Structure 1
């Protein structure tokens, strides 16, 4: 079931109505039933894997909370890690590692055994709910969190439908207390949640899905579009498409939860206005970045070790982050690129300061942020090529062709090329440019002021005019073909 589907438009109001009508003791069971129905609407058998993860991790956390020291808790930690990471390996990575090992053996002229492939569909959202459950188990093991004794409450923590399939990846210490409280109907919260959902839907169906009409033909057949200008246009379009798609999902998830009385952590904070790559990762997919920081980077030693080891730790984290996104070498290269960006950014910090002093940028902070922002945006957009490309060969072809077609084309020929393209995709281009402008304008404004708080204090005529305008934009410019969210594949 997709947030941008008629199915959800019927499902969610029914859940809200029943939730606030039932006595408090029946509300969590209702949400648990609704969450499993939501998940089973893709494939009912997916729910068996979700239930197995829940049972094993509930038992592991419950048993660990009864034991006083880490040594006696450790077998249950390993039970949980083995089941969760084993599930990910079998369903997501087995064929990838199998094929890679066979290709390496063939390249080295080594004998190969007949290893069968695993013909299993990747359960939607498996990377998200397993990481959320693993984070809970590690917190219990370390004594940061008491193991949840109520099975239904823990099952709801793992399966809560607003963030089940694409995050944010929540922590047990943040969500479990919310499931213990009684949430009354709050008109202001409902309005705020609906506003957030509308904004997320706009980013998805007007910005992301419109841009997909430009991006997909080029990235799916890059060899048919060897012109550098068109490949650059597609790369920039995908840069905004993935942000509109993923942050749009997060807004829909946060708005859905807010209506029911729950708060999710912020997952995006104007990432494309970052002045550095480290700043970008403090603003993009915050729940995943903080997960890797707390459960991988710090256990590896973090920055408390010698610089070369700290650089290694940083690079490994982003390499694993790339692999988390997908079983394809394109994602590994994407993660490696960002790992290299961060290592170089950390290593070159003293030279950057000297350069800023020498060029006079240090005396103009706004100009320095602007230059840093443009460089960061270019680096991030370049890395997105590997994220979006269907294969490593396609990604390398696009990067090779990007500089082509500029030297022998004069300004008029480049303009003619883009004009022909725009005439073919005119509705998509016009809608996309309008959507990107509105999305980024609102995002920029949100940096300097709490937009929701500011909007809540506008006169009713202003607010309702804005609601009507946003609704009309969604209705007339949105793509309503049940397009799946990009991060559902992870």
Structure 2
């Protein structure tokens, strides 16, 4: 089930809200949320819900042994078992075919290249479960002795499929005790609808442009202008698709009393690649920093070791996104840029006018999306050739027509990717206007409700017309 579906909007979510409001105790609310979360996950392929429950159960049982250990060495052994146990299913279902294919290519063997259908959200919930057992071993969180509460943490439907990756220590008190006010529910509805609009009204339209260009049967014959329009559209699609999902997840969390951390902070205004990755998919960057980079030595060791640690982190980051060489190349591409910035480039950028940093960063992530989007080395080479090879047919009538049809949308979409609302809220006239509106409580409430209903109406009409529209990050 996806957030941007009619069954979720008009059946699942209302029923879940009503059911949790009809009971008074947090325990009853947790059990209801757990039941709805398992139903949410099992909606498409019910069999994979047992894999998730099994992974959570195994990790939870091991966590009980870690908590009882009197020596650090014994606890470390249980931790290793937990990590191997959790990662084993991820390796089998996501990476086994890639591993065997790579071995066959390297040494000429004929190992069977079994490919499994990828359990949805497995990368997210596996990492989330790992944060719990690792933090417990480190003494940074308390053991959860009730399995249904731990399973709720692992399967909570607002962030189950595509994050943000939530550390148990950030949410354990909210699982045990929380209250949901009317104001928080209203705030959650607003945030959810903002994310829904991002996904349905912007990301889905950008996906149509991507289909016309990068996913079309005539991809190999695109002119240069069409190639640039296609990759710009993909830059729009992936940002509004993923940040829209994160907004919906955070909004849903508010509706049920959970405060999930921000996962995006307007990454397209970054002035360096380092800054970009502090703003994009923050929970994943934080995971690799806290659980891979720092344990490897982080910035405490010499510069050569820091660069090596960065290479390991970004190779793993690429592989986390997918078992394919284009994702490995994507990770190494960003490693090279980040290493250059660490060595010298960041100091250069700080001395230049801000516009140079913005242009450099824009070009960097746009090129990065080429590696991320195109699944084969030949397609990556073809797209880069179309984008940068100066030829007489770089601009054709097809490209001009495509630009005329979509230039307004592309410009508006990139404008909406900017931090307009925070900028407006910082202006005193806007602050005074909002204060005056809020003082007129009935009018403000009615106008907000009308705005919410309008967004829901337009999104519903778009969903009815377009049909199924999965999120891009579901496949990770």
In the TM superposition, what whole-angstrom CA distance separates every residue of 1:56-98 from its partner, at most 9, and x where no partner exists?
Answer: 1111111111113320112211221111111111000000011
Stretches of structure 2 that go unaligned for 5 or more consecutive residues are: 438-443
1:408 aligns with 2:417: no
Give the alignment partner of residue 151 of structure 2, picking from 141, 155, 171: 155
Asked whether the equivalents of residues 314 and 343 of structure 1 are also in contact (C-alpha less than 8 Å), the reply is yes
Residue 482 (structure 1) aligns with:
468
Counterparts of residues 162-181 of structure 1 (less than 5 Å): 162-181=158-177
Partners of 1:378 and 1:222 lie apart in 2 by 25
Q: Which residue of 2 aligns with 1:95?
A: 97
1:136 pairs with 2:122: no
1:421 alignment partner in structure 2: 402
CA deviation string 1:130-159 (max 9, x = no partner): 000111111111111121111111111101
Q: Distance in 2 between matches of 1:225 and 1:175?
A: 51
1:6 correspondence with 2:6: yes
Question: Which stretch has the larger CA shift, 285-294 or 374-383?
Answer: 374-383
Q: Is the 8 A contact 2:90 2:122 kept in 1?
A: yes
Q: Distance in 2 between matches of 1:448 and 1:295?
A: 37
Contact 1:203 1:435 in 2 (8 A): no
Return closer, same or farther for 1:458/1:85 CA change in 2, 3 Å cut-off. farther
Contact 1:218 1:225 in 2 (8 A): no
Q: What corresponds to 1:276 in structure 2?
A: 272
Q: For residues 480 and 456 of structure 1, what CA distance do their matches in structure 2 show?
A: 36
Report matched runs for 1:22-61 at 5 Å. Answer: 22-24=23-25, 25-61=27-63
In 2: Cα distance, 1:41 partner to 1:469 partner = 29
Match of 1:440 in 2: 417
Q: 1:296, 1:317 within 8 Å by CA — same for their partners in 2?
A: yes
Distance 1:137 1:343, change over 3 A: same
Is the 8 Å Cα contact of residues 206 and 432 (structure 1) preserved in structure 2?
no
* Mapped contact 1:276–1:372 kept (Cα < 8 A): yes
What is residue 440 of structure 2 aligned with on the other side?
A: none
Report the secondary structure of 2:158's partner residue: helix
Change (3 A) 1:36 1:402: same
Residues 77-96 of structure 1 correspond to what in structure 2 (within 5 A)? 77-96=79-98
**Alignment CA distance shift 1:397-1:250 (3 Å):** same
TM-score, scaled relative to structure 1: 0.89
Contact 2:223-2:396 within 8 A present in 1 as well: no
Show the counterpart of 2:21. Answer: 20
Secondary structure of the residue aligned to 1:402 is helix
Moved more, 77-86 or 290-299: 77-86
User: Greater CA deviation, 144-153 or 284-293?
Assistant: 144-153
How far apart in 1 are the matches of 2:296 and 2:242?
A: 29
- Maintained 8 Å contact 1:274/1:280: yes
Superposition pairs for residues 89-488 of structure 1, below 5 Å? 89-106=91-108, 112=109, 114-184=110-180, 186-220=181-215, 221=217, 223-349=219-345, 352=348, 356=351, 361=352, 368-404=353-389, 406-408=390-392, 414=395, 416-422=397-403, 426=405, 431=409, 433-437=411-415, 439-441=416-418, 443-446=419-422, 449=425, 457=435, 459=437, 460=444, 463=448, 466-467=451-452, 470-471=455-456, 473-475=458-460, 480-488=466-474
Shift of 1:408: 2.8
Alpha-carbon contact 1:70-1:142 (below 8 Å) kept: no
Task: Give the alignment's Cα RMSD to 1 decimal.
Answer: 2.4
Counterparts of 2:71 and 2:154 in 1: how far apart (Å)?
Answer: 26
How many pairs were matched up?
A: 462
Cα distance change, pair 468–38 in 1 and its aligned pair in 2 (3 A): closer
- Distance (Å, rounded) in 2 between the aligned partners of 1:11 and 1:469: 21
